[in-house]
Structure formats: structure tokens, C-alpha cells
Amino acid sequence: MSVAFTPDALTRLSPGPELLVALDIDGTILGHDGSLRAVVRETIAELAGTGTHIVLATGRSLPAVTPILEELGLSTGWAVCSNGAVTLRLEPEVDDGYEIFDLVTFDPEPTLRLLRSHLPDGLFAVEDLGRGFKVTAPFPLGELGGDVTVVDFEELCASPASRVTLRAPDLSSADFHDLVDRSGLHGVSYAVGWTAWLDITPDGVSKASALETVRQRLGVPEGATLAAGDGRNDIEMLTWAGVGVAMGGADADTRAAADLHTGPVEEDGLVPVLAAVLRRDLG
């Protein structure tokens, strides 16, 4: 059972190179309008300055993550994109400032055809790695990062993919869960977004699976991890972390997966959590 955050709840976590802090982006670092508050940026930078490994872990695609890394001043380390299907190693010396270190793909055709048979009017997208998305029809403006190209449905089915996205503006989260149950979706992982959105990734892939690989590579002790997020695609990550923190506004399932809960992003709920790790009194 999660409890309300208090500063002494994080006294066992010490800032430095033996701590990994995994942060969701939208609804955790950024407001739902895409804004980044200065106090959030400054607190993340202060914690990164201690040598703590700050790892962004997001459902965003690669092109939508790199501008956030730049805005936060994170030029070294790791980032997890596409709900765990893509892991970047940040390298300022290379041309793009990063290398794709891990990439997990699957054959999207069976999933695409199955979902289309149950929701023929849905909007479908397949991530076009490093560039953006291929889609069956335009998505609402600003929802997909990078270049967005409208293609025939058969083209979506033709190549291995790291992620498939289904958008249905008239469906609720409950409707999507019902769709998954009715369609008998199997052999993949999925997450229902806070908007009318369903993300499909390769079986067994999640933010948590990618973060565990990063943790082992960094040699961070098991349990010396903190994660913060607000969505259902954060549930595995919050459970994986030594301390999982649900943001205010998270739904009941996400809150139940966390050890602690803090204020919403509109109230800079991430700041007191990171300040507690820094042993800094916000007073």
C-alpha cells in the first residue's frame, strides 16, 4: 500500500554514482501542456551534479526525447524510449549525441491485423526508428514526435517495429482494456495511455526491463533505485524500483504500484522527492 510522501521516506537513498533515478517525462517532468518549470529543471540538474544516474524512461519516441534531454542539460548517461523498446547511450562526442544501444523489435503484422479487425476506424502508427512514425491517417497535432508519414496499412505491416500505437479518440481507457480482452491480444506487451491511446511493444518489454539492463551495466546496487511516474505504462517501473513514487493525478492502479505518492506535476510534485534525496530542505 502506497503512502503519502514525506522527506524522511527517502533517507536510505544516497545521492551519487551508486544511485539510479528513473523519471517519466509527461506528467512527471513536463506538465500536460508540455511545459518545463525552472524549479524542476534545476533540481534534476542538481541531483545529476552529484553523479547520480538520471535516466529518462518514457513512452516517447527517440526524436521526441532528445529535445527534452537537451533542455534538461543531460548529455551523458542513458535514456529509455518507446516504453523500453529503445535504449540510448548519451555520447556528446558522436554526431547525434547518442547511440542506440538496445533495440527490441517484433513483427507487427499479426497485432495490427487483429486490432484492425476489432477497430477498423482506429488510427494506427508504427514507429519509424530515429525519424518519427508511419501512420494510416494523421494523428491529432503534436501527439507524435518527429516526421509523420501517412502510408497504406499494408506498409505498416511490412517491417519489424519497436512499437505499434492505436489511437481512437472516442474510446476511454476502460474501452481499451475491454478491446484487449476481446481481441485476445497475446505475444506482446501493451500499455493504455491517459488519452485514447494504446501502445504495443515486444513481449516482455517495458520501462522496467530496459532500466534493469541499464542498472546492471552501471553496476548500481539492486534496490538503489528510485522511479517516478504518473501513468499505467509506469506500473512495472514503479514496482521494479527500490522506491517507486506515483505522481498526484495518477490513477488508482498506478498509485497502488508505488511505495509513495507525491503532488501532481502542476504543483512540482517531483521537486520535494528529489530534494529529499539531495538532503535539501525546501523550507
Q: pLDDT of 154-208, one tens digit each?
A: 999 999 999 899 998 888 878 888 888 888 877 788 887 766 788 898 889 999 9
Q: In what order do the strands lie in the sheet with 53-57?
A: 3-4, 260-264, 243-248, 225-229, 20-23, 53-57, 77-81, 86-90, 98-103
- Class for the domain spanning 109-202: alpha beta
What gap in Å lies between CA 86 and CA 104, rounded to an integer? 7
Q: Which residue would you say has higher pLDDT here, 68 or 141?
A: 68
Structure confidence at residue 129 (pLDDT): 87
Residue 7: per-residue pLDDT? 73
Task: Report whether CATH 1.20.140.10 matches the domain 3-104+206-277.
Answer: no
| pLDDT level of residue 5 (50, 70, 90 thresholds) | confident
The predicted model gives 2-29 an average pLDDT of 89
User: pLDDT tier at 2 (50, 70, 90 boundaries)?
Assistant: low
Cα–Cα distance between 6 and 203 in angstroms, integer?
A: 36
Would you call 164 exposed, middle or buried from its count of C-beta atoms within 10 A (0-12, 13-18, 19+)? buried
Rounded average pLDDT over 241-258: 94
Return residue ranges of the chain for CATH 3.30.1240.10: 109-202
Its pTM stands at 0.92
Residue 149 has pLDDT above 70, yes or no: yes
* CATH 3.40.50.1000 domain locations along the chain: 3-104+206-277
Q: What is the pLDDT of residues 210-249, one digit of tens each?
A: 999 999 999 999 999 999 999 989 999 999 999 999 999 8
Question: Would you state the pLDDT for residue 67?
Answer: 94
Instruction: Give pLDDT, residue 1.
Output: 56
Look at residue 272 and tell me whether its pLDDT is greater than 60: yes
Distances (CA, A) of 245 to 32, 141, 271, 282: 18, 31, 12, 18
Residue 150 has pLDDT above 90, yes or no: yes
From residue 171, give the alpha-carbon distance in Å to each of 132, 155, 167, 195, 237: 24, 25, 9, 9, 26
Q: What is the pLDDT of residue 269?
A: 96
pLDDT of residue 79: 98
Average pLDDT, integer, range 69-91: 96
At residue 70, the pLDDT reads 96
Quick one: pLDDT at residue 192?
Answer: 79
How much of the chain exceeds pLDDT 90, in percent? 68
Rounded to whole angstroms, the Cα distance separating 117 from 18 reads: 48
The pLDDT of residue 283 is above 70: no
Residue of 237 and 143 predicted with greater confidence: 237
So what's the pLDDT on residue 3? Answer: 72
- 254-262: average pLDDT: 95
Residue 50 has what pLDDT? 96
pLDDT in tens, 19-75: 999 999 999 999 988 999 999 999 999 999 999 999 999 999 999 999 999 999 999
